[in-house]
A and B are shown apart, each in its own frame.
Chain A
């Protein structure tokens, strides 16, 4: 299945997302802040990155922009996971290089399928992700 990098500082959310994705058969790499997230992306070359926007030190927008500036990682889809759904934020999320976003709270029943839909092989990239 797919290798997914989750950059998320909240331990419970990280565990929940990892658990659901692992149960769905994916392998998960976790990073708890932006800097280690970028490092993990470089070292693991994941198929998809789930990026929390509300991160300490380096926030999601900055992380996305940084990831997009690295040619080696250019093809990896980045999906923002945020409860920060201000109207302006959505545009900023896309503008900073994310392929889409999933709003919190995540729905355990549909979360895995939604994530999968952003994988290149599925051919169904979606902007403004909906649950």
Chain B
């Protein structure tokens, strides 16, 4: 059994490290740990940024749209007002081209009608050959009469352009000669030759001055929201190319909403932008972007944590596996050591058994001889003895007997402690054993003058057990009783009770102190020893007896009163358990 289990432990040592594939997996994982969270973070931030940017763009677009819608009434009103105001000059031009320059009265009547219809028109002038001849109203505009456009460097380019384009041209706003700011519409007039319908001759121009301030006042009547700034450019109807003439010129540099304001010829351009400027793209102050970025960080951190955890777990598992392997190896080593130790212990045990058997034989053989010859001599078989010789021989024999008893006790206790006593199982007569034990102590009791009595109850007869050991226990109890009793009696009472044989040994001796009770059954304790060793013995008897009784499945109990006596009760099963063949190598008496 042991050699094979030792081989098993050797076999178990080989496969402890199965951790190689797990380790490479860890390397792969560490790359993942480094890359994946960064990727997640980058993707999260990009998405957040893009969505924030898209949101900003769409917000800006919506705002532009709003502004567009908001300025729409103003734009259309402005355009409509200019067109409507200048439309009248076309009528006048048509009149002139048919009839030539009207009479002043007729001009006044016509223009009076026009101005009554349109409050924005400041004046209307006629300029045949580009020299102002008539103006309405004349009042306040006297200085205009006689103005030669050709000689007016401020106004000549506009006139020249009109002549080139051959249609109405809007000029200004300009500072007027007569004061104020005006928008001038110049309508060229061509005289038709009735004889030659395709031939036209430039007559001059009709100039209509719209009061700019009034125009603006009327046009803004529709209202421009206070949070929108506007500016106009395109002086002389040049649209985007024209100069800024109303509002803050810088507005055009602020990505404003641009719209064309259609004029009879050309256009103006309006710029509109929020009063507080366009919303800035500031992702770092956008809660949405910050939330996105934060969740990206969180995801990244979570991933990092998860990966680290799984990595740590794997690491821990590896560690555990390694520890397990180590532990197993240690267990295997320890098991092997234990097996060796056990084999050693068993060998030691075996040697001890052999030693005990040898001792029991070797020690007793010479003692047997001594006992034999002293016995023969005391019997007088070798010749008659005188009293002194008899006395000395008897002393030698008693000492030898005592020595034999000591040796037997020591061997017994050694066997008990080594667990080497096995009880035999035989059928014997309990009465015979009791009587034999009584006989053994009868002599000593008689010598001490102690009354010895035996009472055997009903049912005490044949029992199954180890006769020799039962007798040993009884004899021990009896000889103790006689030994520790100086006067009075020793009574043995044996009874059969419910499958048990109970033998009580009572004496009227010195008794046992309560304090000594627990030492009573311990080996090598003779209670009375120490101060005054009156009684010979090893002190092993009770320890041996108690052990034997317990091995039989029985017990020894004691009751005692110091100075009055003791009662030991030995009980064992009537049909003892135990081995079929005891291994009792001992013999005695």
**CB 8 Å contact bits of A77-94 with B (1 = contact, 0 = none):** 000000111111001000
Q: Which one of B381, B586, B589 has the highest number of Cβ atoms from chain A below 10 Å of its Cβ?
A: B381
Interface 9-residue window, one of B16-24, B275-283, B368-376, B457-465? B368-376
Are B379 and A105 neighbours in the complex by a CB distance under 8 Å? no
Taking CB atoms and an 8 Å cut-off, the chain B residues in 551-589 that contact chain A are 581-587, 589
Taking CB atoms and an 8 Å cut-off, the chain A residues in 92-118 that contact chain B are 103-109
Instruction: How many A-B residue pairs have C-beta atoms within 8 angstroms? Tell me.
Output: 69
Are A86 and B585 neighbours in the complex by a CB distance under 8 Å? yes
Please judge, given known A-B contacts A12-B369, A85-B585, whether A19 and B376 are in contact too, CB under 8 Å.
yes
Are B372 and A88 neighbours in the complex by a CB distance under 8 Å? no
Complex: A16 Cα to B369 Cα, angstroms: 7
Given A12, A54, A104, A108, which contacts B375 in the complex, CB threshold below 8 Å? A108
Check A124 for interface membership: any CB of B closer than 8 A. no
Main SS class of interface, B: helix
CB distance from A123 to the nearest CB of B (A): 22
Interface 9-residue window, one of B30-38, B226-234, B337-345, B359-367? B359-367
Please judge, given known A-B contacts A86-B583, A88-B583, whether A105 and B381 are in contact too, CB under 8 Å.
no
Complex: A62 Cα to B424 Cα, angstroms: 25
Given A23, A83, A86, A103, which contacts B365 in the complex, CB threshold below 8 Å? A83
Are A85 and B587 neighbours in the complex by a CB distance under 8 Å? yes
Main SS class of interface, A: loop
Which chain A residues border B382 with CB–CB below 8 Å? 19
CB distance from B369 to the nearest CB of A (A): 4
Which chain A residues border B376 with CB–CB below 8 Å? 16, 19-20, 23, 108
Are B372 and A13 neighbours in the complex by a CB distance under 8 Å? yes
Complex: A19 Cα to B378 Cα, angstroms: 14
User: For residue B424, which residue of chain A has the nearest CB?
Assistant: A87
Complex: A23 Cα to B367 Cα, angstroms: 22
Are B368 and A106 neighbours in the complex by a CB distance under 8 Å? yes
Are A86 and B371 neighbours in the complex by a CB distance under 8 Å? no
Please judge, given known A-B contacts A84-B585, A87-B582, A109-B375, whether A104 and B368 are in contact too, CB under 8 Å.
yes
State which size class the interface on B falls in: 20 to 34
Please judge, given known A-B contacts A20-B381, A108-B376, A108-B379, whether A83 and B584 are in contact too, CB under 8 Å.
no
**CB 8 Å contact bits of B373-405 with A (1 = contact, 0 = none):** 101101101100000000000000000000010
Check A10 for interface membership: any CB of B closer than 8 A. yes
**CB 8 Å contact bits of B402-428 with A (1 = contact, 0 = none):** 001000000000000000001010000
CB distance from B401 to the nearest CB of A (A): 10
Taking CB atoms and an 8 Å cut-off, the chain A residues in 1-24 that contact chain B are 10, 12-13, 16, 19-20, 23
Which chain A residues border B373 with CB–CB below 8 Å? 12, 16, 108
Which chain B residues border A88 with CB–CB below 8 Å? 581, 583
Complex: A86 Cα to B422 Cα, angstroms: 10
State which size class the interface on A falls in: 20 to 34
Are A106 and B372 neighbours in the complex by a CB distance under 8 Å? yes
Are B584 and A87 neighbours in the complex by a CB distance under 8 Å? yes
Complex: A20 Cα to B376 Cα, angstroms: 7
Are B587 and A104 neighbours in the complex by a CB distance under 8 Å? yes
Are B372 and A108 neighbours in the complex by a CB distance under 8 Å? yes
Which chain A residues border B422 with CB–CB below 8 Å? 87
Are A83 and B587 neighbours in the complex by a CB distance under 8 Å? yes
Are B375 and A107 neighbours in the complex by a CB distance under 8 Å? yes
CB distance from A4 to the nearest CB of B (A): 16
Complex: A88 Cα to B366 Cα, angstroms: 25
Which chain A residues border B378 with CB–CB below 8 Å? 108
CB distance from A19 to the nearest CB of B (A): 6
Taking CB atoms and an 8 Å cut-off, the chain B residues in 529-558 that contact chain A are none
Are A108 and B381 neighbours in the complex by a CB distance under 8 Å? yes
Q: Which one of B424, B587, B589 has the highest number of Cβ atoms from chain A below 10 Å of its Cβ?
A: B587
CB distance from A50 to the nearest CB of B (A): 14
Complex: A83 Cα to B186 Cα, angstroms: 163
CB distance from A86 to the nearest CB of B (A): 5
Complex: A34 Cα to B382 Cα, angstroms: 29
Complex: A10 Cα to B365 Cα, angstroms: 9
Complex: A51 Cα to B404 Cα, angstroms: 24
**CB 8 Å contact bits of A13-57 with B (1 = contact, 0 = none):** 100100110010000000000000000000000000000001000
Which chain A residues border B424 with CB–CB below 8 Å? 87
Complex: A53 Cα to B368 Cα, angstroms: 16
Which chain B residues border A106 with CB–CB below 8 Å? 368, 372
Complex: A123 Cα to B368 Cα, angstroms: 30
Which chain A residues border B583 with CB–CB below 8 Å? 86-88
Complex: A111 Cα to B382 Cα, angstroms: 16
Are A86 and B372 neighbours in the complex by a CB distance under 8 Å? no
Which chain A residues border B585 with CB–CB below 8 Å? 84-86
Are A105 and B584 neighbours in the complex by a CB distance under 8 Å? no
Given B375, B379, B584, which contacts A86 in the complex, CB threshold below 8 Å? B584
Complex: A84 Cα to B367 Cα, angstroms: 15
Which chain A residues border B364 with CB–CB below 8 Å? 83, 104-105
CB distance from B393 to the nearest CB of A (A): 12
User: For residue A54, which residue of chain B has the nearest CB?
Assistant: B361
Which chain B residues border A83 with CB–CB below 8 Å? 361, 364-365, 368, 587
User: For residue B466, which residue of chain A has the nearest CB?
Assistant: A87
Are A85 and B375 neighbours in the complex by a CB distance under 8 Å? no
Complex: A8 Cα to B188 Cα, angstroms: 175
CB distance from A105 to the nearest CB of B (A): 3
Which chain B residues border A84 with CB–CB below 8 Å? 361, 585
Please judge, given known A-B contacts A85-B584, A88-B583, whether A105 and B371 are in contact too, CB under 8 Å.
yes
Which chain A residues border B361 with CB–CB below 8 Å? 54, 83-84
Which chain B residues border A105 with CB–CB below 8 Å? 364, 367-368, 371-372, 404
Which chain A residues border B367 with CB–CB below 8 Å? 105
Complex: A103 Cα to B422 Cα, angstroms: 20
Complex: A105 Cα to B376 Cα, angstroms: 13
Complex: A105 Cα to B408 Cα, angstroms: 13
CB distance from B168 to the nearest CB of A (A): 151
Which chain A residues border B372 with CB–CB below 8 Å? 12-13, 16, 105-106, 108
Q: Besides A83-B587, A85-B587, 5 other CB < 8 A contacts?
A: A12-B373, A16-B369, A104-B364, A104-B365, A108-B379
Q: Which residues of A contact B (CB under 8 A)?
A: 10, 12-13, 16, 19-20, 23, 54, 83-88, 91, 103-109, 131
- Give 26 A-B contacts (CB < 8 Å), ordered by A residue: A10-B369, A12-B372, A12-B373, A13-B368, A13-B369, A13-B372, A16-B376, A20-B376, A23-B376, A83-B361, A83-B587, A85-B584, A85-B587, A87-B581, A87-B584, A88-B583, A104-B364, A104-B587, A105-B368, A105-B372, A106-B368, A108-B373, A108-B375, A108-B376, A109-B375, A131-B589
